[in-house]
Amino acid sequence: MSTASDPQASPSAFGRPRAGLGRAAGLLAVVLAYLAATAYVAQAGLGFQSLVLVAAVFAILAISLDLVAGMLGLYSLGQGGFFGIGAYVTTILANDHGWNVFGLLLLVLVVTGLIGAAVGAMSLRISGLYFAITTFIFTLVLTVLATDMVNVTGGLQGLLGPAFPDFPEGLGWLGRPLAWCIMLALLLCLCLAWNVRRSPLYPVLLSIRDAEPFAEAAGVRTAAIKIGVFGLSAAMAGGAGWLFSFLGVVSPSQFDWSVSLNVLVMVLIGGINTTIGPVIGAMFVSMFPTVVNINPWLQEIVYGALSILAITLLPEGVVGVARRVLARSFGGSAAAVENIGPDVAPMPASLPAAAPGPDGPEILVECRGIEFGYGVGPKVLRNVDVAVRRGHIHGLIGPNGSGKSTLANVISGRLRPHAGEVLIKGLRVDGMPPSSRSRLGLRRTFQAAQLVKELTPTQNVMVGLYDRVPRIVSRAPFWPMLPSGRRDMAAMRRRAGETLGIVGAGEWAGRRVGDVPHGIEQLTQLASVYVAGPDIIVLDEPATGLSAKEVRHLAAILAHLKGQGVTMIIIEHQTRFLFPLCDRVTVLNAGEVILTGSADEVRAHPTIRQVYLGE
């Protein structure tokens, strides 16, 4: 008897809508509770109101920092500078020139966003400590200018901020309009962060943070995205300055380097790269001096000690600790409760590869006279010629230091040759970045797997679909609210799950990559490449660290891909694994091509047998 109409027998048909309705009802309840809290704040006394509104403004500032620090790993100490620009532009133009404050909001967002993009374009060539120092200097220079330009900024005494417009008649019962404006702005920023984290852009951002070569090989224009996100972060910080200007006096001390440092402490205490963590941290840091009303000197010591303890003992922040506690309470790891798409479509026998048609070029990848060297030392590659035919597996072998990985980086765009040409499908590409080559159907893997350890294999593989799904970046702030976004996300999850199943890693799809064996990492990396249906794959020592059984499994997968029409260039030391797969083999030594031929020809060459194969 058929059970297709029985709700109990069809969880995929009935369970998901009910779960979706439950989530929607939960979100609606949270929003209604937030609006009720906002109404309470808007009608509360000025003391309590001021405490909450200042915390909310700094929460926006903390969220703006977490966008770049948490998602991109860029620890900016320039948020105070953008905060100050927003506050001073609003105050000066509203008070001295009578500008409409809501028109100034648009101006502040545009100006600070453009300045942030400019600062990002200049400083994003560096990272880590040097990036933090560059943005710190930016804030320091602005503080000095605000202090010295007394006629414009009021110097150390500052300027009295403009008045915020009142509600129209009949809406006075809502309370103070500024409270509604600040609290709704905070809700909007939280929604933006929440949406981005539930879009395909989120794993892309984390791949830029933790595995930038992986992101570039997937077609991501990493520099453009870094600059864009930094500009968005700066605009958000400028908007926080616009809000802050209505709360009292605007002075240099309110956005100097210590403010930027305090904002970073807020993010770390609450939980970096979390949606609600920056808000929790902002509440603690901004409210502590008022709530703990003791001797100011002792207050600073207690605050500093608590901050150090929170950062050192709770590196994941308050939200990170809460997640671990909840995961243990309900059983399973945090990865197990991550919403990665519970159902995967039935696994097909294969995925269609984007193989070139019969009229395509016979030679898909060609290197002509490639020369490359690092610094002033000897050249790593000297007059290298390699031609890879369509549908072939082409091996690159040679002793350590022979230039194999360097040649792979030249082909994939990580390095630009000093001389010679690289052609893909007959098109010269030696001046193109990796992201442009991926659009020509070229993908690659790395000797050490370039993956995001805190994400699942499914999420990592989804990064490989970046240039196969339209407008991932522009739709990210609204993704969960768009029907097209939800459809595309479901399709990407299915595709990623299918590909993981094909390479034999489907059972690990929901685990964090940091918790899976090395072999599964390598298979995940291969799946992230194959998921986009490339024409050409460059594999850099794919069998490194694998057991004999895993090597045989990998060989079967590569043979299967060849059967799908995929052209491959494989760098490998394990000739017993490589030779049975290869149509052609090129041998490199000291940066020069010794021989190109079939596996049998290479194996039979006396010099190669003696020097490289050890026979």
pLDDT in tens, 554-609: 999 999 889 888 999 999 888 889 999 999 999 988 888 988 999 888 888 887 77
Amino acid found at 231:
G
- The DSSP code for 156 is G
Is residue 508 over pLDDT 70? yes
Helix (H) or strand (E) holding 240: helix 222-244
pTM score > 0.95 for this model? no
- The answer to whether 278 and 50 have CB atoms below 8 angstroms apart is no
* Buried/exposed code over 188-208 (b: 16+ C-beta within 10 A; e: otherwise): ebbbbbebbbbbbbbbbbbbb
Domain map of the chain by residue range?
A: 18-252, 363-611
Confidence of residue 299 (pLDDT cuts 50, 70, 90): low
- The answer to whether 135 and 264 have CB atoms below 8 angstroms apart is no
pLDDT in tens, 20-56: 677 778 888 988 999 999 999 999 999 899 999 999 9
- CA-based angle 410:413:416, to the nearest 5? 60
3.30.1360.170, 3.40.50.300, 3.60.110.10, 3.40.1350.10: which CATH number matches 363-611? 3.40.50.300
pLDDT in tens, 153-171: 888 888 999 999 998 888 8
